[in-house]
């Protein structure tokens, strides 16, 4: 009987171990998976309002967008009425020729329809050292900017349309804006279902964008990085041969400690905390990386700038972050600022992830304009 109990316990232990490993693999896959296709659904345009289905963000305060299936954009504002399964919101801008009635659209936090809505725009291609090009928008007047450039870097499962939200502030401050794409997003080849490397591969494309800006006359560059773009910016400033040209950082809800981020995601899914460490182990192993389709293994635990292992760049830094961010914990930004006297944290009461510019645009803009205005001229 004792032997049968031991065998049964062994089987149960093995089953639990297999389940734990499967959960870890699932979390790792979800962490690096490419952006899923936008979910398009019927919406109803009626005068200056639109009725949209209820999803996580469609009840949030602030200014957002609807991307129609023909690629056009509708800017939407405050909630007018909540009908339970649908929300009616104010329309702030709509394409010419869009009539009232039902259309198919996807909800998005991208509240700016096109770079031309920000300022004079050139559609450019940044040459990449790995071959090919990265599409980018160059916004502003280079003569008036006098060598001052900002490079806007979007986050995981996003696109340069999301990073466009910081361009109005930098344009108002008189700086050029280069809004870039990079490896694995939906614009920069090779993009076909490539998983993210959490910045460890992507930073090279942003470094190529820095080189491009220098070639266009940039003498002072500020990286404006969103979410995982924060990881990319940190890696670029550690590794780039051009890092001496980067004179400042603006970070929006930045990913500065991936252990904290993964543990937060696991806790939010009500999984055992041990799954977080195991999922990072999957990413770190060659076998796990190969199974996930990664070009190279990723040591997520090493991607932290809030401890002592990686000191972080000694450049003036502005962090804009919501206190209740459900994806990238606010505590990581607090910990970073505590260790970096050159860093300033502006806390927002915004809900959701990376919604600071959507929900408090004036404060978001003013903080960026003031920060850029304080930077010494080279």
Cβ neighbours of residue 26 closer than 8 Å, sequence gap 6 or more: none
The pLDDT, as a whole number, for residue 363 is: 98
Q: Assess whether 85 and 207 both reside in one domain.
A: no
The answer to whether the bond into 190 is cis (omega within 30° of 0) is yes
Residue 139 lies in a domain: yes
Q: What is the pLDDT of residues 337-375, one digit of tens each?
A: 999 999 999 999 999 999 999 999 999 999 999 999 999
The domain in which residue 93 lies consists of: 41-108
At residue 47, the 3 state secondary structure works out as: coil
Shared domain for 124 and 81, answered yes or no, is no
pLDDT tens figures, 133-184: 899 999 999 999 999 999 999 998 888 999 999 999 999 999 999 999 988 7
Of 66, 87, 108, which residue sits at a domain end? 108
Residue pLDDT, tens place only, 11-42: 333 344 445 677 877 778 887 876 666 788 99
* Co-location of 150 and 103 in the same domain: no
Mean pLDDT for all residues in the chain: 89
**How many angstroms separate the CA atoms of 364 and 238, rounded?**
27
Choice among 27-36, 44-53, 102-111 with the minimum mean pLDDT: 27-36
Across the range 312-334, mean pLDDT stands at 96
Q: List Cβ neighbours of 207 (8 Å cut-off, separation of 6 or more).
A: 236, 239, 240, 241, 242
Q: Which segment of 167-181, 191-205, 228-242 scores lowest on mean pLDDT? A: 191-205
Residues 160 and 200 in one domain: yes
Same domain, 162 and 217: yes
Q: What pLDDT does residue 16 have?
A: 42
Q: What is the pLDDT of residue 195?
A: 84
Residues 122 and 102 in one domain: no
What percentage of the chain carries pLDDT values higher than 70? 91
Average pLDDT over residues 44-67: 93
Has residue 333 got a pLDDT over 90? yes
Say how far apart CA 12 and CA 48 lie, in whole Å.
61
């Amino acid at each position: 009987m004792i032997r049968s109990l031991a065998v049964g316990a062994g089987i149960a232990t093995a089953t639990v171990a297999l389940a734990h490993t499967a959960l870890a693999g699932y979390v790792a896959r979800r962490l690096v998976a490419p952006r899923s296709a936008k979910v398009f659904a019927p919406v109803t345009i009626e005068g200056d309002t639109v009725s949209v289905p209820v999803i996580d963000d469609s009840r949030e305060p602030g200014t957002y967008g609807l991307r129609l299936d023909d690629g056009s954009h509708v800017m939407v504002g405050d909630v007018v009425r909540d009908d339970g399964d649908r929300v009616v919101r104010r329309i702030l801008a709509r394409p010419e020729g869009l009539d009232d009635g039902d259309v198919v659209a996807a909800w998005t936090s991208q509240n700016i329809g096109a770079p031309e809505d920000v300022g004079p725009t050139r559609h450019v291609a940044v040459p990449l050292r790995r071959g090919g090009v990265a599409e980018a928008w160059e916004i502003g007047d280079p003569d008036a900017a006098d060598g001052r450039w900002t490079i806007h870097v979007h986050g995981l499962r996003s696109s340069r349309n999301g990073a466009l939200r910081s361009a109005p502030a930098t344009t108002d401050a008189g700086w050029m804006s280069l809004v870039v794409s990079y490896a694995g997003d939906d614009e920069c080849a090779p993009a076909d279902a490539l998983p993210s490397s959490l910045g460890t591969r992507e930073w090279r494309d942003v470094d190529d964008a820095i080189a491009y800006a220098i070639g266009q006359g940039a003498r002072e560059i500020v990286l404006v990085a969103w979410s995982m773009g924060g990881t990319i910016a940190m890696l670029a400033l550690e590794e780039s041969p051009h890092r001496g040209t980067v004179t400042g950082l603006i970070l929006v809800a930045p990913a500065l400690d991936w252990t904290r981020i993964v543990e937060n995601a696991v806790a939010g899914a009500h999984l055992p905390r041990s799954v977080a460490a195991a999922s990072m182990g999957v990413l770190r192993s060659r076998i796990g990386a190969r199974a996930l389709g990664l070009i190279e293994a990723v040591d997520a635990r090493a991607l932290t700038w809030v401890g002592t292992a990686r000191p972080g760049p000694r450049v003036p830094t502005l962090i804009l972050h919501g206190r209740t961010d459900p994806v990238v914990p606010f505590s990581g930004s607090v910990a970073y600022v505590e260790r970096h006297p050159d860093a300033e944290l502006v806390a927002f009461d915004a809900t959701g992830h990376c919604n600071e510019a959507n929900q408090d645009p004036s404060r978001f803009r003013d903080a960026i304009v003031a920060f850029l205005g304080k930077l010494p001229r080279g």
